[in-house]
Chain A
Amino acid sequence: MSWFQLPLLHAPLGLPHVLILAAALFCLGLYGVLALRHAVRVLMSLELMLNAANLMLVAFANYVPSASPLRGQVFSLFVIAVAAAETSVALAIFLLLYKQHQTVDMEKVDSLQG
């Protein structure tokens, strides 16, 4: 099977479409995490990546038959809860960073570089 000989355009709308969309969203978020400089925007891109993972979980719960359905949705709710906790702690860390260094530029925060 060749690389981009996707059956997507002929298949009825379903799981592969959602997975491709979630993969694109994940890679956009990854680019943001790696390339952006503002710490809060890095966090925003991280939220995009988490949303992509959640989208995949919900899509699998919807399309793949299993003995215990809706487990994927339950897991995505746990992901949402952990993401909320992570965001609050990360924003507190950013405020502390701003107090100490007067910047939120990821390029300038290199205190651990030695």
Chain B
Amino acid sequence: MGAPVVFYVVAIALLASAFGVIWIKNTVHAAFSLVAAFGAVAALYLVLNADFVAMAQLLVYAGAIIIMLLFALMLTQRRETVYLGAPAENRSFLAGLVATLLFVAFVRVLVTSPWGSGGYSQSVLGPLLARHGTAFIIGREFFSTFLLPFEVASVLLLMALVAAIVLARRDEPETPERDAVVPRAEEKPAAGRREEPVAAGVRPAQDLGDQNR
């Protein structure tokens, strides 16, 4: 690894923005913090001799996935989601305990494994990348050894595209199917807000005041 200073700066930025994703109250600001985290991971990929993966990370994660997340946030906004920014109080302690114990277990495994020693500090890709770039070798792998997984991944992406459209399209004509859900919802005492005229795309005017929550 070239410059240790670069690694430490990027690592601190990555952990800080990951903390921000979880503990920032405003969900849209948390999404922007997630952009910073993805950018930091892309910088780490560059440090680790993975320039093609870094560009794919920037394009797919920091571009497409963030846009989809922001659209989902925009389409599911209500006043009641203001308090949803913070972690749940009843599960926060247990979740923190599980995460901390898992981290301790990770460190324990790393210390007892051969990877924890200082033996792996030289990049093995240097002489390889002196002849070709990573895009050359990755492309050759995709179209020779991993041809079948590559095609399966493309079919998977197509299926996800079609499934997302089918799931999220507006189906106003199918009111009988929607009414079948209503009796279950009306049993709950807090279900009175179902009667609010919140059709898709039509939002009450006072909800526009506190967006981004």
Residues of chain A having any CB pair with chain B under 8 Å: 1, 3-7, 10-21, 23-32, 34-38, 40-41, 43-45, 47-48, 51, 54-55, 58-59, 61-66, 68-71, 73-74, 76-78, 80-89, 91-96, 98-108, 111
Contacts and interface: CB of A to CB of B under 8 A. Distances in A.
Interface residue tally on B, bucketed by range? 35 or more
B148 to A, nearest CB: 12
A69 B110 CA distance: 22
Given A28-B18, A70-B137, A85 B157 contact: yes
B56 A20 contact: no
A81 B120 contact: no
Contacts of A26: 102, 106
Given A81-B156, A96-B167, A70 B125 contact: yes
B208 interface: no
Contacts of A32: 21-22, 87
Contact of B149 (A73, A78, A88): A78
A88 B18 contact: no
Nearest to B34: A44
25 contacts: A6-B111, A11-B118, A16-B118, A17-B11, A19-B106, A21-B11, A23-B103, A25-B15, A35-B92, A41-B84, A45-B21, A59-B48, A62-B49, A63-B122, A64-B120, A66-B124, A80-B57, A84-B60, A88-B68, A88-B163, A89-B164, A96-B168, A100-B178, A103-B78, A104-B81
A16 B181 CA distance: 52
A61 B120 contact: no
Interface string B164-181: 110110000000001001
B182 to A, nearest CB: 9
Nearest to B156: A85
B65 A14 contact: no
A34 B95 contact: yes
A55 B198 CA distance: 43
A14 B22 contact: no
A80 B60 contact: yes
A106 B50 CA distance: 37
B153 A82 contact: yes
B53 A58 contact: yes
A30 B27 CA distance: 18
Contacts of A102: 78, 193-194, 196, 198
A103 B21 contact: no
